[in-house]
A and B are shown apart, each in its own frame.
Chain A
């Protein structure tokens, strides 16, 4: 009986507390930069596509909502010929972002992506690709990885040692 009275008193005290509700359409809730919302494809600081079409995001995706096709540029680098995310399936788990070796695929703090037509939930590469670097402003995959590209050889990247000559015991 006493605990019931105490409960009623505690609830009554809430007459003077402010409502927790965020009046959403008029008042936007704060979403942290690492919020897992709409997925984008980012570019590196030089403005090139970061995606190297390795397919890891599509492989890790638990609902199989990512589809892409690899193609090769003239300089030998890979890029996605098409990149398609079906957002009516996507569960915003962020595993694609974790799997991505080049920080290309990133989740953004945006959840307002309603459509009247289900088909419009399928985003193609032109919808996904943004003209920005996303959460990693200075990162360029080809500058830090050991990949040989048209402009540099193996071992010439940032913070990278020369490759070991496996044919020699003295190196």
Chain B
């Protein structure tokens, strides 16, 4: 039974991830509607949830077309890569005690590696489309993701130093008393911003940037291949939210002072839900920065903040060790 558990969980995550991403497309539109004083899709079924099914039917029945000028193999491979990479990232997420597919001692590195692989999808998609807008989108995504990758990793060093482990279970256990969102507030801010850039969601959706690049890297994509890109994006959103909760908001632990009177998985999903709502709020509120602003924000602001964070965290930890 215990050997079957990861397989069952993996299947659950696969189905749940796809279903969650589908529901998220509707939920995000409704939530944006709330914040923009309108309704969003509310026609089909209760609260408009039938919109999810309608969208899926539409996408499934669309012509699965590959442009004749595109690099066929790479063009088809690109959208699958992002979904696979993001799905793999869920393997190390600890949803509840014992409720994870695999508890590796380099879980954090595995997660960073998998999100980095997603860059290939966007990059190759833009390159294979053989279209100038797609190429520009791919180019931007490469520069954006590679540079934000740097301090996405660095922003987590503080967490690793405080918990003394790369294992996500150990990191969650280390937050039993106090969550890392207080001591690692700088790391949290940088990780959130880098996470948005990594999953290229608004306001950092420069690879898409529909006002300048029509649809950026997926200009030439349609039907299910386009749906795969969207699925990857929403999976990335969920994955980043899961990681923010795991690394900074105590994972499955209940909030301090209130306690653990609910099942651990419920606390985890509640926190992930709140973080996703926060990401949607960012989308509703913040305009997209210019490309050079994005890069200078990354290298001139975010990188120094993370380095200072590492320095201060290390110094404080050494000082506590010296005192004790």
Binding site for B on A (CB under 8 A): 4, 7-8, 10-12, 14-15, 17-21, 23
Contacts and interface: CB of A to CB of B under 8 A. Distances in A.
B37 A18 contact: yes
Contacts of A11: 35, 281, 284-285
Contacts of B281: 8, 11-12
B282 interface: yes
22 contacts: A4-B285, A7-B286, A8-B281, A8-B282, A8-B286, A10-B285, A11-B35, A11-B281, A11-B285, A12-B35, A12-B285, A14-B35, A14-B37, A15-B35, A19-B34, A19-B39, A20-B37, A20-B38, A21-B37, A21-B38, A21-B39, A23-B39
| A interface, over-half SS | helix
A15 B37 CA distance: 8
B36 interface: yes
Contacts of A18: 37
B237 to A, nearest CB: 17
Contacts of A14: 34-37
B33 interface: yes
A18 B39 CA distance: 10
Contacts of A12: 35, 281, 285
Contacts of B38: 19-21
Contacts of B282: 8
Contacts of A10: 285
Interface string B30-54: 0001111111000000000000000
B280 to A, nearest CB: 10
A15 B286 contact: no
A17 B37 contact: yes
